[in-house]
A = this chain, B = another copy of it.
Amino acid sequence: MNPTDARLQALLQPITEPMAAMRAVLAEELATDAPAVADMTDHISRFQGKQLRAALVLLVGQATQNDDRELSTVAAIVELIHLATLVHDDVLDGAEVRRRVACVNERWDNQVAVLLGDWLYSRAFHRSTTLKSRLASQLLAKTTQKICVGEIEQAGGRYDFEMAETRYENIAGAKTAALYSAACELGARYPGDSGFGTSMASFGWELGLAFQIIDDVLDLTGTEAEVGKSVGNDVEDGKVTLAVLKTYAMADGDTRARIRDVYTLPDLEDRVARLREVCDLGPGLDYARARASALLTSAQGRLSALGASPAREALETLMTFLQERRF
């Protein structure tokens, strides 16, 4: 176990039992009689990653004294929706490596990846309709809408070097923060309402947005080995992320033209390296890191309203963990 994994394990310690229950539900939902589907779900279960969204449901649940027995199922449903978006993301980005396992659309074709994602969504929605409260169904269907709109807006905003920062944050937020926010909100208030629903929704949004901003930074600065997935995709795909937006905004006309060329000229290799040649990304990267840091500080503040608990401590450790991830 590498040090990062060991620290994550420690973080999940207060929710060992509900996470096990969550995994049991997830396994149930990934089980199928259809052999053609089973072959793929086996594969998917290998790249499930850290199950951070499920952990957020359960950690926030515990930190807000929500001991509803259905919370593990809610967490599994959130994780299923995340899996569906990952599978469809593979269709979208043509990313070549995700967590060092060949992604679904390389092993099978795009057609089947679309269907598998649809199947995962419908499993998730169906399970949510069997819960005593409609809150999970409703919030997660709304969240899925937000995610789609964000991704569609992102596709429409490619090569837009003058995008407003708020628009960048809306798009990055819809992509990642929306599901984090729903996870934390459900943890705090499923099945009904609690005083912490709104603040935990904001906590999750800030956490998720910070995570996405850092992810975008790492796509510019990291190596595949460090990040655990291919990097440089954003420049390749025409996605202008916060550090580049800021760099572009501060650049003179010549530099701007060169930045645009790096994104748009056909058949360029290693566009990130070329980007670093034509401009100084440093201040833009610092700006993005500072923004992520501010979001994490704000999120941290929201935790202070909760009583002390091992789960709250784990959430605080998670924040530190994310703060460090950016370097």
Chain A positions near chain B (C-beta within 8 angstroms): 32, 34-37, 40, 88, 91-93, 108-112, 114-119, 121-123, 125-126, 129-130, 134, 137-138, 141-142, 144-145, 147-149, 151-153, 155-157
Whether B152 and A119, one on each chain, are in contact in the complex, defined by CB atoms closer than 8 angstroms, is yes
Asked whether A130 and B138 contact (CB < 8 A) given A91-B111, A149-B32, A153-B34, the answer is: yes
Q: A36-B152, A36-B155, A148-B118 are in contact. Are A110 and B110 (CB under 8 A)?
A: yes
Is A37 in contact with B144, judged by CB distance below 8 angstroms? Answer: no
Tell me whether B36 and A112 are in contact (CB under 8 A).
Answer: no
- Return the chain B residue nearest A93 by Cβ: B111
Closest 10 CB pairs of A and B: A126-B141, A122-B144, A119-B148, A36-B156, A129-B137, A92-B111, A125-B141, A122-B145, A34-B149, A129-B138
Query: By the criterion CB–CB under 8 Å, are A115 and B92 in contact?
Result: yes
Q: Which listed residue (B35, B36, B110, B121) contacts A118, Cβ 8 A?
A: B121
Bound CA–CA A119/B36 (angstroms): 26
Q: Give the one of A40, A111, A119, A144 with max B CB within 10 A.
A: A111
Indicate if the CB atoms of B114 and A88 lie closer than 8 Å: yes
Would you call B155 and A115 a contact (CB within 8 A)? yes
Are B34 and A152 neighbours in the complex by a CB distance under 8 Å? yes
Closest to A124 in B: B141
Task: Select which of B93, B108, B137, B152 is within 8 A of A116 by beta carbon.
Answer: B152
A116 close to B34 (CB less than 8 A): no
| Nearest opposing residue in chain B for A134, CB measure | B129
Given A34-B152, A153-B34, A137 and B125 touching (CB < 8 A)? yes
CB distance from A227 to the nearest CB of B (A): 22
Complex-state Cα separation, A112 to B40, whole angstroms = 23
Instruction: Taking A88-B115, A121-B122, A129-B138 as given, write out 9 further A-B residue pairs in contact, using a Cβ cutoff of 8 Å, ordered by the A residue number.
Output: A32-B149, A34-B153, A36-B155, A37-B152, A88-B118, A108-B155, A115-B152, A121-B121, A122-B148
Q: State in angstroms the CA–CA spacing of A115 and B175 once bound together.
A: 12
